[in-house]
Amino acid sequence: MDFFTHQQQARRQSALLVALFSSAVLAIVAATYFSLCVISPVASPAESEFHNRTGQTIARDARIRWWQPELIYIATGISVFIIGLGSLYKIAQLRGGGSVVATALGGTLVSEDLDPDPHIKQLLNIVEEMSLASGIAVPPVFVMRNESSINAFAAGDTPNNAVIGVSQGAVDSLSRDELQGVIAHEYSHILNGDMRTNIRMMGVLHGILLIAIIGFYLIRFAAYAGSGSRNKNNPTVYLIMLGAAAVVIGSVGLFFARIIKASLSRQREFLADASAVQFTRNPDGIANALNKIRVNAIGSRIKNPEAEVASHLFFGNARGASFFSLFSTHPPLEERIRRISPILAGKLGGKSGPQTIPTGILREDVARVSSLHRESGNSARLDADKRSEPVVASGRELHLAPLRTSAVERLALDSFDSLLISAAHHGYTARFIVAAILFSTDGSIRKQQLELVEKYLGTAAKNETLQQHERVSKCSRLQRMQLLDICHASLMSLSISQVKAMQRLCSALVAADGQIELFEFMVERVLTYRMNEHSDLQIHRRGGTYKSYRTSKEAIGTVLSAIAHASGLSSEICEANFNVAMRQYFPNGREYKILGRSALTLHQVGAAMDQLAGTSLLIKEKIIDSAILLVGSDQKTTMQEMELIRALSATLALPTPAVPEFVT
Amino acid sequence: MLISLGIIIFLGAVSLIILFWGIATYNKLVTLRNRYENAFSQINVQLKRRHDLIPNLVETAKAYMSHERATLEAVTQARNLATQAGTAAAGKPGDPALMSALAGAEGQLGAALGRMMLVAEAYPDLKANQNMMSLQEELSSTENKVSFSRQAFNDAVMAYNVQREIFPSSLIAGGFGFQAAELFEIENPGEKEVPQVKF
């Protein structure tokens, strides 16, 4: 039950989705064509008159001509144009990142500063713990103040511009554990790559809906325009018929599109529930939250009208329980509770019988997960000879094992200086922490860096940065990495000129000592790529340009060679692992040759990563898969491996994957 | 028949594109307006914190500089005016009259504080007071935060004003009554005086 399997599943479902939706579009084109065939003779009185002269029978035959090739072009043109326009409009709107969706749904950004409410503070803490547990940057949190029901959503198209939205009702009425379950559910949507599919789905639905909307306006317009003249041959009749046809086609199209959307969404919900349990290790939290929705009078219903299009982003049904389960984007609550916690379901009574439990996804998942845990626990005792061979066999499963519990992460959060954490929560002070993270251990270089801070952030920043540096210098390298994640939400709240100043400062700080070290390389890359997702910085991602491995062969080889060498093992073992990883994930893996340790520079690796950022999602995910296999081949992760993986996943805009047990 | 259908389709397509552009532009303007309004609430938090500190500061100073009643009262008065202006501006951030009133009141408050600090130079006991020192430290840190969030607010206002004024979207902005927003610039006469008296 790892996120790669889920992402692959999400990809397969996306492919299915594309196929289903294309057939829906084809059906719409066909329907448009036939309705045009039916309507066209009516609109051309000249033509019908001509037939009337030649004879009644011919005229009747000619009234509907089923083969009019020129109409095929028109029908295809109209339908594809409307659906395309509607979809592109919506997708472009949603590409602005999760904050656009969250604002449209009536959410307001919350921070400790503006909301002294302890419930909000708790919510922000939970989000932070989950982020540390799942290795993604802390997302901004939105609260839907006007919604008293219990619901939540995740939106955004990459983990870096994702946001979490929670209804006021959920904040008020859920306990800490329950809220944690709900948030974990949303995180798994982010991690499992559901958000991208969700956004496309919203786009296409909007396109199909547009046909019906246009038809509706066409009828109204025609009725309005036609009311003046009473001429029998006037084109308003034609317009009304066209409009009626569009309404019918659009509605029928929407009907089927909603069924497709709902059925896919329901599957993803089960998986997200299962992953949430895996994250929190606490099935009762999420099960009780679901139960609270069940007994709540308004359940999870969202009042905001925008929720209709976004219904599949939510934790529970945003549109009341549908009378028609076919349209429901979420499985029935009882069913979800039963799969998560059969005991609770048993207490609730009702139709859920224990005999059906074994089919639940969750049971198998949890069993698998715990067996893997045992495996990884024993891994240290693996013999050396066993180790060299079963790399492939166990490698694939390796990254399934390290499931960090949130309890552990809460401890991790506690190990930080509390002043440092609260400083990381404000945009003002988070800048100084980031600068302090990049400070050199060398006193004279640090002096130079302090001047740079003064130059870019002002005089007051100098002292503040020194203060933060005192605290940061007590942190380990791993903690500094985590600090970057914690600062993310605050950094995303900076304004455009502040972000630009920050980016310039970071490059200047890194360049201050005239050389670049792996840690600096990682920090600069993570910051640059994350901040490029700022909604005001309109930097166009070049994702999906290169679909073939061949064009990026060199780049893949360079990046993975660097990761192979980062294991610190002898070069023979590195090469063997490299070859294994390549053969498993790339069809022509044998063509890739490992680069020598001495031939690699960080500059090269950086350029290679940049090139890979322009490849398609499929290639990106394979690269991450093989990187993880390489890191996991020796059952330990070195700091260098961890830093390279972080830099790579930030560049590719993918969530940082969980890696095997960390060894310093 | 085909030609007339073609024309209808063409006109339909063009009007659809225009309609979509209109909706998108309108939404963008609304988003930008929300953004600067939110940015203002960030400033307001810091301004309030600053206003809350001032009575304590005056109270502490009173014990040492009882002869300077007029200076202290000026600070209290300026603080009350600034609080009022802040509450008014929070109701409608970006409104030119309210923003310049707030900027003026904050400027006055800064000047009054500056004068008070100048006078306080003559009271070494007050300067050495632990409470006074920590209050002063907190005050200056809050001022830094104000200028930080002021920058964010001004960025947001700028983005909104540009979107409102550039050509095609100005049609939508004009048609739907999107009004120009005002930057928040505090002119502090006191700040400029400070270096002169250092000797």
Helices (H), chain B: 2-64, 69-91, 96-120, 124-128, 130-165, 167-175, 189-197
- Which pLDDT belongs to residue B79? 93
Q: Which of A213-222, A345-354, A459-468, A628-637 has the highest mean pLDDT?
A: A459-468
Give how far A440 is from chain B: nearest CA, Å.
26
pLDDT tens sequence across A28-68: 888 888 887 877 654 444 444 444 444 444 444 455 667 77
Q: Does the pLDDT of residue B53 top 70, yes or no? A: yes
Residues composing chain A: 664
**Which secondary-structure segment (H or E) carries A153?**
strand A152-155
For B76-84, what is the mean pLDDT? 92
Separation in Å, CA B24 to CA A17, A91, A323, B20, B29: 27, 12, 34, 6, 9
What is the DSSP code (8-state) at residue A656? P
Q: Which distant-in-sequence residues (6+ apart) come within 8 Å of B110 by Cβ?
A: B186, B188, B189, B190, B191
A517 is catalytic: no
Q: A446 and A439 in contact (C-beta within 8 Å)?
A: yes
| C-alpha B82, offset from chain centre | 12
Residue A284 corresponds to which tokens in the numbers above?
């009762």
3-state secondary structure string, A252-308?
HHHHHHHHHHHHHHHHHHHHHHHHHHHHHCCHHHHHHHHHHHHHCCCCCCCCCHHHH
Q: A446 is written with which tokens?
A: 């640090």
With bands split at pLDDT 50, 70 and 90, how would you rate the model's confidence at A663?
A: low
Please tell me the least confidently modeled range out of A172-176, A309-313, B130-134.
A309-313
Strand bridging mode A108-109 / A141-144: antiparallel
What tokens were used for B118? Answer: 């100048």
Give the CA-trace dihedral at A356, A359, A364, A366, to 10 degrees.
-50
Q: Name residue A389's amino acid.
A: E
CB contact under 8 A, B34 and A43: no
Parse chain A into domains and list their residue ranges.
Answer: 3-95+197-268, 382-403+540-664, 415-515
Closest in A40, A89, A114 to B41, CB measured: A114
pLDDT greater than 70 at residue A351: no
Q: Is residue A460's pLDDT more than 90?
A: no
Least confident interval from A3-7, A118-122, A346-350, B18-22: A3-7
Read off the pLDDT of residues B18-50 as tens digits, 9 standing for 90 and up: 888 888 888 888 888 888 888 898 888 889 989
Residue A123 predicted with pLDDT over 80: yes
Residue A572: its pLDDT value, please? 85
Q: What's residue A141's pLDDT?
A: 93
B77 touches chain A (CB under 8 A): no
Res A538: pLDDT: 62
Q: Mean pLDDT, to the nearest integer, of A605-628? A: 85
Predicted local confidence at residue B82, as pLDDT: 92
Q: What average pLDDT score do residues A651-664 get?
A: 71
Q: Determine the pLDDT at residue B190.
A: 46
| Choices 1.20.1440.20, 1.10.3720.10, 3.40.640.10, 1.10.357.10: CATH for B42-197 | 1.20.1440.20
pLDDT tens column, A513-534: 888 888 889 998 888 888 887 7
Whether pLDDT at A257 is above 50: yes
In angstroms, the Cα distances linking A396 to A5, A369, A584, A629, A659 are: 10, 14, 9, 7, 12
Question: Inter-chain contact B152–A427, Cβ cutoff 8 Å?
Answer: yes
Q: What value, to the nearest 5°, has the Cα angle with vertex A477 and ends A472 and A482?
A: 75
DSSP A152: E
pLDDT score of B80 more than 90: yes
The residue among A286 and B8 whose pLDDT is bigger is A286
Residues in A closer than 8 angstroms to B6, CB to CB, are: 74
Where residue B168 falls among pLDDT bands split at 50, 70, 90?
Answer: confident
Contacts of B31 in chain A (CB under 8 A): 100, 103
| Helix ranges restricted to H, A44-68 | 45-54, 56-63
Q: pLDDT at position B199, please?
A: 42
Given a cut of 90, whether residue A332 has pLDDT beyond it is: no
CB A362 within 8 A of CB A274: yes
- Give the orientation angle of helix A427-437 with respect to helix A443-457, to 10 degrees: 150
Percent of chain B with pLDDT over 90: 15
Question: What integer is the mean pLDDT of A397-418?
Answer: 50
Judge whether B152 is closer than 8 Å to chain A, CB to CB: yes
Calculate mean pLDDT across residues B165-187: 86
> Which neighbouring-strand residues pair with A167?
A144
- Tokens 């330990």 found at: A636
Q: Find the residue in B nearest to A101 (Cα).
A: B31
Average pLDDT for chain A: 76
Kindly report the pTM of this predicted structure.
0.73
Rounded Cα distance, A440 and A450, in Å: 10
